[in-house]
Structure 1
Amino acid sequence: MVTQNQRSTALITGAGRGIGRAIAERLADDGFDIIVADVPEAKDNVNSVIDAVQQRGRDAVGVFGDVSNPDDVARFVAEGTTALGDLHVFVANAGIAQVDPILDVEPAALDRMLDVNIKGVFYCYQAAARQFIAQKSSGKIIGAASIVAYRPFPLLASYSATKWAVRGLTQAAAMEFAKHKITVNAYAPGVVGTAMWDLIDERLTTLEGTPRGSALERQVDGILAGRVSVPEDVAKLVSFLSGPDSDHMTGQTVLIDGGINFA
């Protein structure tokens, strides 16, 4: 946790809603000022997150762009640090999902999945490390993986592949950045009650001809904790990864799924 006398800043992509918003609010509670990054279409959501952070007594600024564009990611960092000071934590949270049989995945849809979920995380790791090195400071880079980074789901092949890639990228980046005193870890949520999982449920039930909500309900049977996760569950793990208690931890992708997978 950051003390009130310290000014520490965290940048979170995809922070306008869902897990990203929960992370922003939790890190604000921990004492971080927050750079809230999202696509331009999420401006109203971003402004709502900024208000929530400020209500917690921390500063916040919104930055807008597409994580699949490296210039936008570099600008997130430049604009955010100009407004709030040196960067300490970068959370590469932004991602998209796609539910389709492999045989039906169109090239354009696959390209977009790879652009956001792999290239976007790569550019975030790259921009964060460059900023920490320029500051001559240590730093923490945290990426969004998923339980499918350990066990893929059918009809989520492209999404699963990207999250496996995030896991590998996290390990490689940890190896390269260690000499700069930068740690790199990832969080792997399970079934989280967010808009993304609503879309997954809608698509799965359409493909299967089952009632809306049934795909999500089926997942509960495989969760030892007996419930679907909420964004705050994930934010608690990111809080740990962002703080000093995780200083001796790097290259790890940590499951936070209520007991679905074991690694």
Structure 2
Amino acid sequence: MVSKVLDGKVALVTGAAQGIGEAIAMAIADRGARIVASDINVERGEAMLSSLRSRGVEAHFLRHDVSSEPDWIAVVAETMRLFGKVDVLVNNAGLIEVCHIDDMPVEQFDRVMNVNVRGVFLGCKHIWPAMKAAGGGSIINMSSVTGIIASSDGSAAYSTSKGAVRLLTKAVARDYIDRNIRVNSVHPGGIRTPTVEPFLADPDTAPAVIGRTPMKRIGLPGEVGAVVAFLASDESSYMTGSEVVVDGGWLAV
């Protein structure tokens, strides 16, 4: 039984329909928070909502394109209508487009940046009134190990976007430090998600995926969720502008 360190808190988690986002929502809910889960995938989001509610969690699901400013305004307004505040924002929604830079259409690059960077910027911008009502809060932005060290597998746009999230987090942390809002980034390595599963199932690519990680295993979404829940709680009260790596030792070599 985990400690209810988030009892009474309200959390908004984007990209929560599956994978790491779903695990984050579950981990935060298990620690006592009420949840607004958002995602562009309505069908999967509704299924995830049913799972949350079956565990006795007070939760709601909202369709949400994080690259859209009107969507952000509407989602924050609806969360305020439902709960009157937001204590925790997890900017988890993200997009991976694998393509080498010389072959990448500019529209594809823009799509990655719009979701991964613009979406985080808009979340940090528009959550302020809701966190003001809460007396402050915690923002957790999901980056990646490839936001710290670039990969050579056609993920130039993704790495660029996640590097931007890393520094945007630090900038917003400085901007919001006098508003009692902490802002930190989380940098997962190889995690078992629907996006990664095809690579793990392929005998040609699975050894390379696992071989990058000194622990010699793939991480689980719940292992990331537990770290995010810690950053959401007052147990991390002296942390802001930090980058927390969850990678099985990937960056330790």
Q: TM-score, normalised by structure 1?
A: 0.90
Q: Displacement of 1:81 after TM fit? A: 2.4
2:141 match? 143
Tell me if the contact between 1:28 and 1:56 (Cα under 8 Å) persists in the aligned partners: no
Map of 1:7-156 to 2, 5 A cutoff? 7-39=8-40, 42-133=41-132, 135=133, 137-154=135-152, 155-156=154-155
RMSD: 1.9
Q: Displacement of 1:221 after TM fit? A: 1.7
Partner deviation per Cα, 1:76-117 (whole Å, 9 max, x = no partner): 111122123311100000000011111000011011011001
Tell me if the contact between 1:24 and 1:49 (Cα under 8 Å) persists in the aligned partners: no
Rounded Cα–Cα distance in structure 2 between residues aligned with 1:213 and 1:235:
28
1:254 match? 244
Amino-acid identity (%): 31
Rounded Cα–Cα distance in structure 2 between residues aligned with 1:239 and 1:136:
18
Q: Displacement of 1:48 after TM fit? A: 1.8
Q: Displacement of 1:126 after TM fit? A: 1.0
2:208 match? 218
Rounded Cα–Cα distance in structure 2 between residues aligned with 1:98 and 1:8:
34
Q: Displacement of 1:259 after TM fit? A: 0.7
Following TM superposition, the consecutive aligned residue runs of length 4 or more in structure 1 with deviations greater than 6 angstroms are: none
Rounded Cα–Cα distance in structure 2 between residues aligned with 1:221 and 1:57:
40
Rounded Cα–Cα distance in structure 2 between residues aligned with 1:80 and 1:49:
18
Aligned partner of residue 57 in structure 1, secondary structure = coil
Partner deviation per Cα, 1:151-205 (whole Å, 9 max, x = no partner): 1111110100000000000000000000000000011000111122246x49xxx
One-letter amino acid matched to 1:238: V
Q: Displacement of 1:7 after TM fit? A: 2.6
1:241 match? 231
Partner deviation per Cα, 1:234-253 (whole Å, 9 max, x = no partner): 10110110111111100011
Aligned partner of residue 31 in structure 1, secondary structure = coil
Deviates more, 1:76-85 or 1:234-243: 76-85
Tell me if the contact between 1:183 and 1:249 (Cα under 8 Å) persists in the aligned partners: yes
Rounded Cα–Cα distance in structure 1 between residues aligned with 2:142 and 2:5:
26
Rounded Cα–Cα distance in structure 2 between residues aligned with 1:48 and 1:166:
29
Q: Displacement of 1:47 after TM fit? A: 1.6
Q: Displacement of 1:2 after TM fit? A: 4.1
- Gap change, CA 1:190 and 1:3, over 3 Å in 2: closer
Aligned partner of residue 140 in structure 2, secondary structure = strand
One-letter amino acid matched to 1:119: R
Aligned partner of residue 44 in structure 1, secondary structure = helix
Tell me if the contact between 1:2 and 1:8 (Cα under 8 Å) persists in the aligned partners: no
Aligned partner of residue 17 in structure 2, secondary structure = coil
- Gap change, CA 1:164 and 1:38, over 3 Å in 2: same
Q: TM-score, normalised by structure 2?
A: 0.93
Tell me if the contact between 1:11 and 1:37 (Cα under 8 Å) persists in the aligned partners: yes
1:228 match? 218
Deviates more, 1:100-109 or 1:52-61: 52-61
Aligned partner of residue 196 in structure 1, secondary structure = coil
Aligned partner of residue 252 in structure 2, secondary structure = coil
